[in-house]
Structure 1
Amino acid sequence: MRKAMYSWGTFTGRDKWEKGAGENARMLPKAGHEERKKLETKRKRKLKTVAGKLLKAVASGKEIAAKKAESEHVAGNLLKMRTNRKEAEGETSAEETVCEFIEQGKFFQACNCISDLEHSASDAVGKSESLYMLLAERMWAVVGEALHGSDRVLLEPLQSVGESLAWEKQKEEEWLGRDQEMESVSTWHPNFWKKDLEEKLTQYMAAQIPRFVPTCNTDEAALKQHLSQLETTFLPNLEHKSGFFREAGLLVTYARCCHASLSSHLSTLTDNRHCTFSQCLVVYEWCLKMYKSGSGTCLRPRQTSQHSLALDVQSLVWIILKTEEKLLAVTRKEVGKALEEAFEIGKTPCADAAVVQIFREKMEAAQHISESLSEKVEAVCLEECLSFLQSYENEVRNFLQIDGCPGISSSLRILENCCILRTAWCKLTHICSASTGQDAKVKGFLYRMEDEVTEHFLQTVTSRVKETLKDHFKKCDSGFNHILESLKQSFSAFGKKKPDIYEALVKSVNIIIIAEYVQALLTTSRKPSSEQRKRIVSKIEEDHRTLQTIFKECLGPAAGALKDPIKAILELIQTSDAEGMKIALLPILKEFPDLREEHLSAVLDIKDSLSREDRAALLKAFHDNCGETESEATLLFADIEVKPRKYGLCGCFCC
């Protein structure tokens, strides 16, 4: 800042005041008692004038009304002060001297005078505190004028502010070195000067920042425009004023406040709940750009000491690290939310490519900024994936424990989600650097969930099929076909993704349905009428066709390998002669070695018009061939309990 050509004394009227004071001093030896009273009155008037000028300067510096009132109170106290020593006629009191220095902008000299006054009398502490307050008010008025670019400001008063702060620091160190009481040091008024100065600077800088309030509708373009305003308007303005504070020895404090204001504002841009990953990335990129370019004295001041430069670099790095911390937090939040929405229980599963895209778009955006940031974003994405799987596993367990058994389709969706997650994780490991431990944890989560959900699903199918078949052969519509249709639709949706466990799961369901169907068939009424027998056989034929159709659609060619005891039972009871029935019995015994006599007897009860002789011949054929089967054959009838048929009193098969 250009120095004014006129002197500070001329601006304040100091020369005129000193001339008048000299004349009064020469008059005192010749004057009597009345002259001394006039001099004392004039001195009071002069002190009052000084205080008034200070108040006017404070008011012009845009200080708040409360501080102005406080200063008026301080000035009033100064008018009531009396020195404890006897002054020679014409001499200036210590209080007046301090006020002169304050009025002239010689704050450092005023500090020394007040310090001397503190040790001069027992009541000097109260006086010194009032003077310190008045001194501080004037110093901050000078700082305010410097910040607002007032032409009235000269460099010397601002330099004196810097010297006063250095004096305060030196005095504090001396006090602490003499083991001064901490209470005295902490309550000493100059002890707050540094904080007050930083507060004033920070308030001014915050007021210069262009107004910008992020909302849910804020887009990247608006944010980039605001950051551009900071770069082209706010920072150059601070740089322009920094030269004045550098010459005054206050650059370190000024730069620190610049960084504090900038950091605080950037935090408001990234800490709001509407901030997205892309917006946070824009702020981070801008901070990195400012650091690399060194734009603005407030960011990388030139021609400063090594200590000051290191402080600024450290502050900038701190701003970047805080922004990076927020960026990673937003990454974690968005990835977690996206995974929760993609794998919501009961919702149609998404494609594995969509899951991979959640991670890919963030890692690629970070890669555009720097390799280091990309690695950190990648690590956060992988950690959040593990965290999601852990919470998802707990959610699945809670879901499975709900009373009333969750629907078949919901269980299949969970299994499908597990398959999608496994596929997505496999793809992620090709684009991310997942550790061996992370890979093992993810696979462990998925295998545990699959086992638990599969077990629960099969139990649910068993329970519902068993309940439906309880009266299936007694009612016209038991709901069995509805269960089969529901399974068909669920398997159809599940099979589109062709997960690894699909075929094994469908085959397990087939075994359950066949076993429960045969169980219901063999435990139906043992003495059906001829009409009932015909209806049962007709229903078996219809159900068999439905089952064949459904499982062929679900498994395709693999359905041919399924065991079909219902077909074997139909062939046995639909054969008209006894010899043909014996021939049909042999493959049944070979395929189902666990078939017991009571099972065969229950099947024969369903056949219409079977004589006792033919029944006896078939049972004898069963006993003759039941031990000739292979032990590795499928066991289906082992768990089917059928009450033995009551034969004649003689115990033979003919009664």
Structure 2
Amino acid sequence: MFHEMLVNNCGENEDGYIAKTIALVNCCPSFKSFVERCSQCDPSTSEDSIRRANTSLDRIINLSVRVLNDRLFEHIRVLVVEVHRRVMTEYVRAIMRGRIICTSLKMRKRMAGRLRDEGKHLKTLFKELESSASWLDSAIPHLSEIILLEDTPSIQMEVGVLVREFPDIRRKHVSAILNIRGMTRQTERQEILNIVKDIENSDSVTRVSRDRALFAEVPVTSEVHCLNVGLSRVALTASSLFSSMRRRRRRTPTRENQDDML
């Protein structure tokens, strides 16, 4: 009723609505003082009448503050949600760059633990900011588990949950995570990637609105396949071997000359 009264007086004018509400709140202290003076000037005024007058004025103040809170902070809440989504997008984007490739279980545990801790910090931060986009908070823990888990069925299950919660994820994203965890066996990789294959071939990404999309805005700039990573390591090893052989060849004539001199 309070809201309808202000709308009827101000129409669709947002500024007029807020100004009217603020003016109404500012008048309440003066009315309270007036009620108190009336009670002092007219002793016949009952305490019940004074109490009801003050209660009505307090109610007007509380309702007005609630209206101002809803109207003025609505834009701030929208901004917090957008910041939340942008921070998570950039965080996942940094992971997908694949600058770190785990070569041991110890590295995977360390990286997964770091992702898990930072995910908790971000979740706490945006919870304190009262972000309504809490659905974003599960992305980092899922990625952490995919990096940490050992057996293929467990990884498949975790990827399945990730796909259900974030239907805009694609094979290239999952492939990038598998590269980071150092999974080189193509059979295991294919078993895991098949989970998102059907979704990638469908048009489900078009049905995901922007405010519910995360991975759609995370490009995988260079999808490094583990086979290529393995070949690069072999190339580095071969290069090191050839270099050592060259050094040995250079040393051999010197030793032969020393033998001739003897």
Q: What TM-score, normalized by structure 2, do the two folds share? A: 0.51
Secondary structure of 1:645 counterpart: coil
Q: Which has the higher contact order (CA 8 A, sep 6+)?
A: 2
The residue that corresponds to 2:213 in the other structure is 635
The counterpart of 1:594, out of the listed 168, 188, 201, is: 168
Task: Give unmatched runs, 5+ long, in structure 2.
Answer: 1-13, 28-68, 229-262
> Residue 534 of structure 1 contacts residue 608 of structure 1 at CA under 8 Å; is this kept in 2?
no
Q: Structure 2 CA distance, aligned partners of 1:509 and 1:573?
A: 27
The counterpart of 1:517, out of the listed 75, 91, 99, is: 91
Q: Structure 1 CA distance, aligned partners of 2:86 and 2:130?
A: 16
Q: Structure 2 CA distance, aligned partners of 1:635 and 1:499?
A: 24
- Using the TM superposition, give the Cα deviation of residue 577 of structure 1 relative to its aligned residue in structure 2, in angstroms: 1.8
- Using the TM superposition, give the Cα deviation of residue 645 of structure 1 relative to its aligned residue in structure 2, in angstroms: 2.2
The residue that corresponds to 1:427 in the other structure is 22
> Residue 593 of structure 1 contacts residue 630 of structure 1 at CA under 8 Å; is this kept in 2?
yes
The residue that corresponds to 2:196 in the other structure is 622
Q: Where in structure 2 are the equivalents of 1:209-248 lying within 5 Å?
A: none
- Using the TM superposition, give the Cα deviation of residue 420 of structure 1 relative to its aligned residue in structure 2, in angstroms: 11
Q: Deviations over 1:231-278 (max 9, x none)?
A: xxxxxxxxxxxxxxxxxxxxxxxxxxxxxxxxxxxxxxxxxxxxxxxx
- Using the TM superposition, give the Cα deviation of residue 511 of structure 1 relative to its aligned residue in structure 2, in angstroms: 0.2
Q: Structure 2 CA distance, aligned partners of 1:420 and 1:528?
A: 57
The residue that corresponds to 2:127 in the other structure is 552
- Using the TM superposition, give the Cα deviation of residue 559 of structure 1 relative to its aligned residue in structure 2, in angstroms: 5.6
- The structure with the greater share of residues assigned to helix is 2
> Residue 166 of structure 2 contacts residue 214 of structure 2 at CA under 8 Å; is this kept in 1?
yes
The residue that corresponds to 2:66 in the other structure is none
Change (3 A) 1:532 1:580: closer
Please say if 1:644 is aligned against 2:223. Answer: yes
Q: How many corresponding residue pairs?
A: 167
Q: Where in structure 2 are the equivalents of 1:43-122 lying within 5 Å?
A: none
Q: Structure 2 CA distance, aligned partners of 1:431 and 1:579?
A: 65
Change (3 A) 1:537 1:420: farther
The residue that corresponds to 2:113 in the other structure is 538
- Amino acid in structure 2 at the alignment position of 1:428: A
In percent, how many aligned pairs have the same letter?
A: 25
- Using the TM superposition, give the Cα deviation of residue 635 of structure 1 relative to its aligned residue in structure 2, in angstroms: 2.3
Q: Deviations over 1:380-414 (max 9, x none)?
A: xxxxxxxxxxxxxxxxxxxxxxxxxxxxxxxxxxx
Q: Deviations over 1:195-215 (max 9, x none)?
A: xxxxxxxxxxxxxxxxxxxxx
Change (3 A) 1:425 1:635: same
Change (3 A) 1:623 1:521: same
Change (3 A) 1:568 1:627: farther
> Residue 85 of structure 2 contacts residue 133 of structure 2 at CA under 8 Å; is this kept in 1?
no
Q: What TM-score, normalized by structure 1, do the two folds share? A: 0.23
Q: Structure 1 CA distance, aligned partners of 2:145 and 2:227?
A: 28
Task: Please tell me whether Structure 1 or Structure 2 has the larger radius of gyration of its CA atoms.
Answer: 1
- Using the TM superposition, give the Cα deviation of residue 543 of structure 1 relative to its aligned residue in structure 2, in angstroms: 0.4
Secondary structure of 2:74 counterpart: coil
Change (3 A) 1:625 1:427: closer
Secondary structure of 2:163 counterpart: helix
The residue that corresponds to 1:24 in the other structure is none
- Using the TM superposition, give the Cα deviation of residue 425 of structure 1 relative to its aligned residue in structure 2, in angstroms: 6.1
- Amino acid in structure 1 at the alignment position of 2:101: K
Q: Deviations over 1:338-397 (max 9, x none)?
A: xxxxxxxxxxxxxxxxxxxxxxxxxxxxxxxxxxxxxxxxxxxxxxxxxxxxxxxxxxxx
The residue that corresponds to 2:64 in the other structure is none
Change (3 A) 1:421 1:512: farther
Q: Deviations over 1:592-623 (max 9, x none)?
A: 33323221111112325664321121123322
- Using the TM superposition, give the Cα deviation of residue 504 of structure 1 relative to its aligned residue in structure 2, in angstroms: 1.6
Q: Where in structure 2 are the equivalents of 1:161-180 lying within 5 Å?
A: none
- Using the TM superposition, give the Cα deviation of residue 546 of structure 1 relative to its aligned residue in structure 2, in angstroms: 0.4
Q: Structure 2 CA distance, aligned partners of 1:431 and 1:545?
A: 43
- Using the TM superposition, give the Cα deviation of residue 561 of structure 1 relative to its aligned residue in structure 2, in angstroms: 4.3
Q: Structure 1 CA distance, aligned partners of 2:87 and 2:107?
A: 23
- Using the TM superposition, give the Cα deviation of residue 560 of structure 1 relative to its aligned residue in structure 2, in angstroms: 4.1
- Using the TM superposition, give the Cα deviation of residue 551 of structure 1 relative to its aligned residue in structure 2, in angstroms: 1.6
Q: Structure 2 CA distance, aligned partners of 1:582 and 1:592?
A: 15
Change (3 A) 1:635 1:529: same
Please say if 1:582 is aligned against 2:160. Answer: no
> Residue 581 of structure 1 contacts residue 618 of structure 1 at CA under 8 Å; is this kept in 2?
yes
> Residue 526 of structure 1 contacts residue 605 of structure 1 at CA under 8 Å; is this kept in 2?
no
> Residue 593 of structure 1 contacts residue 631 of structure 1 at CA under 8 Å; is this kept in 2?
no
Q: Where in structure 2 are the equivalents of 1:396-545 lying within 5 Å?
A: 423-424=18-19, 426-428=21-23, 499-525=73-99, 527-530=101-104, 531-545=106-120
RMSD (Å) for aligned C-alpha atoms: 3.7
> Residue 604 of structure 1 contacts residue 615 of structure 1 at CA under 8 Å; is this kept in 2?
yes
Q: Structure 1 CA distance, aligned partners of 2:113 and 2:137?
A: 21
Change (3 A) 1:499 1:645: same
Q: Structure 1 CA distance, aligned partners of 2:109 and 2:15?
A: 48
Task: Give unmatched runs, 5+ long, in structure 1.
Answer: 1-418, 433-494, 650-655
Change (3 A) 1:601 1:499: same
Q: Structure 2 CA distance, aligned partners of 1:549 and 1:563?
A: 10
- Amino acid in structure 1 at the alignment position of 2:120: R
Change (3 A) 1:422 1:515: farther
Q: Structure 2 CA distance, aligned partners of 1:631 and 1:587?
A: 20
